């Protein structure tokens, strides 16, 4: 695997491998890699001739400076995991490389109500930062396919809309959520859970599964109230439980209101903010 710190070196290498019908797959990450990230790498390696991964903890998407500071960083281990997962090139740029002083990387896009709800409502400015970095990284890598996890459902929906609005020549592939054996969605943040909250956290998945399996049993409003209560009783501090149209991300008031419906939860488990979701109707 090649390791590039400078975009110029990455681009020189990409120039040597592009062409002859070879496809480039790209997996952007913030590092502290786990099986969820590696599943994206493997899927990309299966679909494309070359896979590029980037590790960049993007400062512009953190609305809370202490979250950025505490974000786990494990570069040595990440490199080993990527080598054994079939990644061809790792791009690990510094902040100045992604955001050079002489390049205006900000993006003004009207996403309608897509970024006003859920994560957008609770983390002001977060998606502006995500779009800024993904757009910039896409310009540097110019992949054929971009791999993102369903774990961040709203993020992939917003990036899909950004790609459509900017007419970027890349195909977005959404990959399934990889979970721990007890159901907790894998996340770089899970290492920061105390043993007590690590034990409690799988309730988020249990709630989502129950909504999916027994959705006819209660109304959407009843499920949301029930889920909030279950989370609180378990000692978690939910920010939202939402049941939304999977295409528009707008809340639905009935399971008949859309063909594609996703249930989403964001909750604090002690000092750690967790998000998870499940497609309950498709
Ligand atoms: P991050 O490093 O958290 O920015 O995540 C990088 C990519 O990995 C994003 O597209 C995430 O949605 C995806 N990802 C994170 N956790 C998981 C998971 N448990 N299963 C599948 N994909 C994931």
pLDDT digits (tens, 9 = 90+) for 193-237: 999 999 999 999 999 999 999 999 999 999 999 999 999 999 999
- Residue 149 CA: nearest ligand 1 atom is 12
Compute the average pLDDT of residues 142-160.
98
Q: For ligand 1, atom 14, which residue shows the shortest CA distance?
A: 149
Mutate to test the pocket of ligand 1, among 70, 152, 172, 189 (most ligand atoms within 8 A of CB): 152
Burial 266-275 (b: 16+ CB within 10 A, else e): bbebbebbbb
Percent of the chain as helix, strand, coil, to the nearest 5: 45, 20, 35
| Percent of the chain residues past pLDDT 90, beyond the cut | 99
Give the pLDDT score at 11.
Answer: 98
Q: Which residue CA neighbors atom 5 of ligand 1 most closely? A: 29
* Model confidence band, residue 269 (pLDDT cutoffs 50, 70, 90): very high
Rounded CA gap, 71 and 189, in Å?
Answer: 7
Spatial separation of the C-alpha atoms in residues 6 and 51, rounded to whole Å: 17
For a ligand 1 pocket test, name from 26, 32, 35, 36 the mutation site with the most ligand atoms within 8 angstroms of its C-beta.
Answer: 36
Active site residue 37: yes
Confirm if 141 and 10 have CB atoms less than 8 A apart.
yes
Contact call for residues 123 and 279 (beta carbons, < 8 A): no
Write down the pLDDT at residue 224: 98
Q: How many whole angstroms separate alpha carbon 33 and alpha carbon 151?
A: 14
Residue 249 pLDDT grade (very low, low, confident, very high; cuts 50, 70, 90): very high
pTM: 0.97
Which candidate in 20, 34, 37, 205 is catalytic?
37
The pLDDT tens digits for 39-63 are 999 999 999 999 999 999 999 999 8
């Amino acid at each position: 695997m090649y390791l590039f710190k400078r975009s110029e070196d990455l681009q020189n290498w990409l120039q040597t491998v592009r062409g002859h019908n070879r496809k480039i797959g790209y997996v952007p990450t913030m590092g502290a890699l786990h099986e969820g990230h590696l599943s994206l790498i493997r899927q990309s390696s299966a679909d494309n001739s070359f896979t590029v991964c980037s590790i960049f903890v993007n400062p512009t998407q953190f609305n809370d400076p202490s979250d950025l500071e505490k974000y786990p960083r494990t570069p040595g281990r990440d490199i080993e995991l990527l080598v054994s997962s079939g990644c061809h090139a790792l791009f690990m740029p510094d902040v100045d490389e992604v955001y050079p002083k002489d390049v205006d990387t900000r993006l003004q896009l009207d996403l309608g109500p897509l970024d006003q709800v859920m994560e957008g409502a609770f983390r002001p400015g977060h998606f502006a930062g995500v779009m800024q970095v993904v757009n910039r990284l896409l310009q540097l890598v110019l992949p054929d396919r971009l791999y993102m996890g369903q774990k961040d459902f709203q993020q992939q929906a917003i990036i899909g809309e950004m790609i459509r609005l900017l007419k970027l020549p890349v195909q977005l592939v959404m990959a399934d959520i990889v979970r721990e054996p007890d159901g907790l969605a894998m996340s770089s943040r899970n290492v920061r859970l105390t043993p007590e909250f690590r034990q409690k956290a799988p309730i988020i998945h249990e709630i989502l599964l129950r909504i999916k399996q027994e959705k006819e049993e209660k109304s959407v409003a009843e499920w949301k109230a029930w889920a909030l209560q279950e989370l609180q009783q378990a000692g978690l501090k939910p920010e939202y439980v939402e049941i939304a149209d999977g295409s528009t991300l707008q809340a639905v008031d009935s399971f008949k209101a859309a063909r594609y419906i996703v249930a989403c939860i964001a909750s604090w488990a002690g000092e750690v903010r967790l998000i998870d979701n499940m497609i309950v109707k498709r």
